[in-house]
Amino acid sequence: MRGLEVETRKGRPVLLVVLVVIAIILVSIYFREGEDGVLHRSRAVALAASEPVAIAGEWVSTPFRRVGGLASGLAVSRTEYEELRVQNEEFRARLAELEEAGLEAERLRGLVGFVEEQDFEYVGVRVIGRPTTSWEGALIIDRGENDGIRTGMPVIAAQGLVGQVVEVSPGSSKVRLITDQRSGVAALVQASRAEGIVAGTLEGPMILDFVDAEEAPVAGDVVLTSGMGGIYPKGLVVGDVVDVYDERHRLYPTIEVESRVPITEIEEVLVITAPGTAGDEAGQ
């Protein structure tokens, strides 16, 4: 009799059970321990270890982004491009550098102008890492503890609020975005002054919660930080209301808010190291 026998490598259910139990214990410890706990601190170590890789990734991807930007810019004036073909190689490289520098200067002018208006103390930082899985909204920035960055500090861009520093290593930090499902921002609607909490979601737009139906905003209304809770300074743009609707199972109307910050493109942000006095002076 002839046949086939499959040589198998038997599984060990005991190993699976042990590892599952260890994982559950880890999750449990994570929630029970404080910010100074072993697991939280190990994440700061992982952040420091991954910093060179994140910087290398950003360094490698930047020329591709620049070339992409250059190609789209040249497509607009192809005739001109043909006339300058002789000087093309040198010119293209130079143009890319200048365009990049110009865009960067423009972005930084916007950022600094916005922050100076608010009279914040801040540190300008570059984004060196973006979310590593589809399930989280976090950025890695190139400044850390050695530059005065601490957990809890708000992070902003010219378009508005970006998030909050949640992990700090000596040379880099992790910023949890306001769009992350673990984020919550005390906010108010600019037009009606109705207060609520803007929470990030996994599935897309943020939700402004705890606003009574009578005070519900309309699409297009601007949502700002309310300053309640003391984490984010008052008056930062959180986003714009894009939809308002009632759901039977919810006590409050569902208010969808879209952030103005282009998270996938953002390259520089500011970390607010100390709140300004402009708001206080205005109130006196």
Partner 1 sequence: MKQAIPSILALLGAAVLQVGVAPRLAIGGVVPNFILLVVVTLAMVEGPTAGCALGFAGGLVLDLLGSGPIGVWALVLCVVGYLTGMLQERLFAEGWLLPVTVVFAASLVAAFGYWMVSSIVGEGGAFGATVLRIILPSAVYNTVLAVLVYPWLARLLRREPAVETVRQFR
- Residue 125 token pair: 């930082």
Q: CB of 190: closest distance to partner 1 in angstroms? A: 27
What are residue 189's phi and psi, to 5 degrees? -85, 125
**The residue type at 141:** I
- Which of 199, 200, 205 minimizes the C-alpha distance to 186? 199
Inter-residue contact 169 to 52 (CB < 8 Å): no
How would you class 122 by CB atoms within 10 Å of its CB: exposed for 0-12, middle for 13-18, buried for 19 or more? buried
- β-pair partners for 268: 126
Alpha helices in 37-178 (DSSP H): 38-76, 78-83, 88-118
Cβ proximity to partner 1: between 19 and 191 the closer is 19
- Residues of the shown chain interacting with partner 1 in the complex, contacts defined by CB under 8 A: 1-12, 15-16, 19-20, 22-31, 39, 42-43, 46, 50, 53-54, 56-57, 60-61, 129-136, 138, 166-167, 174, 176, 180-182, 201-204, 264
DSSP structure class, residue 85: G
Q: How far apart are CA 110 and CA 75, in angstroms?
A: 27
Q: CB of 92: closest distance to partner 1 in angstroms? A: 23
Cβ proximity to partner 1: between 117 and 243 the closer is 243
How would you class 7 by CB atoms within 10 Å of its CB: exposed for 0-12, middle for 13-18, buried for 19 or more? exposed
**The residue type at 121:** E
Cβ proximity to partner 1: between 31 and 283 the closer is 31
Q: CB of 113: closest distance to partner 1 in angstroms? A: 29
Q: CB of 34: closest distance to partner 1 in angstroms? A: 14
Cβ proximity to partner 1: between 9 and 85 the closer is 9
Q: How far apart are CA 76 and CA 213, in angstroms?
A: 48
Cβ proximity to partner 1: between 67 and 202 the closer is 202
Q: CB of 93: closest distance to partner 1 in angstroms? A: 22
Cβ proximity to partner 1: between 126 and 234 the closer is 126
Q: How far apart are CA 146 and CA 250, in angstroms?
A: 45
Q: CB of 95: closest distance to partner 1 in angstroms? A: 23
- Which of 236, 229, 203 minimizes the C-alpha distance to 135? 203
Q: CB of 37: closest distance to partner 1 in angstroms? A: 10
Cβ proximity to partner 1: between 3 and 283 the closer is 3
Q: CB of 208: closest distance to partner 1 in angstroms? A: 16
Cβ proximity to partner 1: between 161 and 189 the closer is 161
Q: How far apart are CA 85 and CA 83, in angstroms?
A: 6
